[in-house]
Amino acid sequence: MTKPLTLHDTAHAKINLFLHVTGRRPDGYHLLDSLAVFAGAGDRISAEKHDSECLLSITGPFSVGLSASDDNLVLKAAHALRQKAGITQGVHLTLEKNLPVASGIGGGSADAASALRLLSTLWEVDPALLPNIAPTLGADVPVCLGQTPTRMLGIGEILEAGPTLPEGGILLANPGIGVSTPDIFRRFSQTGGPQPRTAPILPMHWENMQHLASTLTDTTNDLQPPAVSLAPIINETLAAIATLPNCLLSRMSGSGATCFGLFPTAENAHAAAQILREHHNWWIWGGAFASTEK
């Protein structure tokens, strides 16, 4: 008997290098201007053909408490693609959950995008269908389809290629708390809401990480103050990252609570992660960006 074909994919962590909230739509969703990049860290997803059902198994350090039922975004993605493409085949998907959940680095969105990529190969579906399905699954799913530096506009569905990243290092730290994205947006609205500002002008590419960090100093993550007010440990996380050797910038990603630090090299970020682990029992990762790691 031949072994069934199994396909593998990595759902890389999405980092918002800046995130400006520029307005609010009548349906309550917020208009954003954000630069998303991807770190080497990620969940691993595999897909194996199955008769007619779509099944999901979840393993890995952050699998505890996650539902493997139809409300999981990975299965939602599978069902949406089956419906759109008229597929009757099934799949057995396995999600190795390495990234903390509800933590501002894509997580479920990256997993859903990864499932779409795998299933379009497994079921031989035209990949051109995927960008139509992605936004129906979540605001961050479209950007996670490409996993390359991308400027996100609208509510995250208008995507423009971002500048090429230099070789460099990134550190991620989550202080062990999950925060609710709607709660953070609600607090943002209660504390002033979107403010008028000029859109950042970015270069075509950055010469090095020092150049990248210096252009980011004119930007912010607008969700950081409301997130800190709901979860003050985020401030402690940001301060701990900022004091690590060679750290160029520390900031929160997405709606938090994961914070990141930028470093001149991947080795610097890796070494900084080891120092941070000596002092904190947090989830900590340090290494290269996804695009420069391959």
Q: What residue ranges bind ligand C5P (CB under 6 A)?
A: 29-30, 32, 138-140, 155-156, 181-182, 185
Residues in Cβ contact with 54 at an 8 Å cutoff, skipping those fewer than 6 apart: 75, 78, 79, 82, 90, 91, 93
Residues in Cβ contact with 105 at an 8 Å cutoff, skipping those fewer than 6 apart: 13, 14, 15, 39, 99, 172, 253, 254, 258
What's the min distance (Å) between Cβ of 284 and ligand C5P? 25
What's the min distance (Å) between Cβ of 89 and ligand C5P? 28
Pick between residue 139 and residue 171 the one whose CB is nearest to ligand C5P. Answer: 139
Is 110 one of the annotated binding-site residues? yes
**For residue 60, what are the CA distances in angstroms to 6, 68, 171, 174?**
18, 13, 20, 17
Residue 3 a catalytic site member: no
- Bridge-based pairing of strands 90-96 and 54-59 is parallel
One of 14, 33, 97, 222 is an active-site residue; which one?
14
Is 104 one of the annotated binding-site residues? yes
One of 9, 33, 111, 140 is an active-site residue; which one?
140
Is 108 one of the annotated binding-site residues? yes
- Please check whether residue 40 is in contact with residue 289, taking contact to mean a CB–CB distance below 8 angstroms: yes
Q: How far apart are CA 14 and CA 127, in angstroms?
A: 21
**Hey, what amino acid is at 128?**
A
What's the min distance (Å) between Cβ of 181 and ligand C5P? 4
User: What is the DSSP code (8-state) at residue 149?
Assistant: -
What's the min distance (Å) between Cβ of 113 and ligand C5P? 12
Pick between residue 94 and residue 114 the one whose CB is nearest to ligand C5P. Answer: 114
Pick between residue 258 and residue 268 the one whose CB is nearest to ligand C5P. Answer: 258
Residue set of the binding site for ATP? 100-110
Catalytic residues: 14, 140
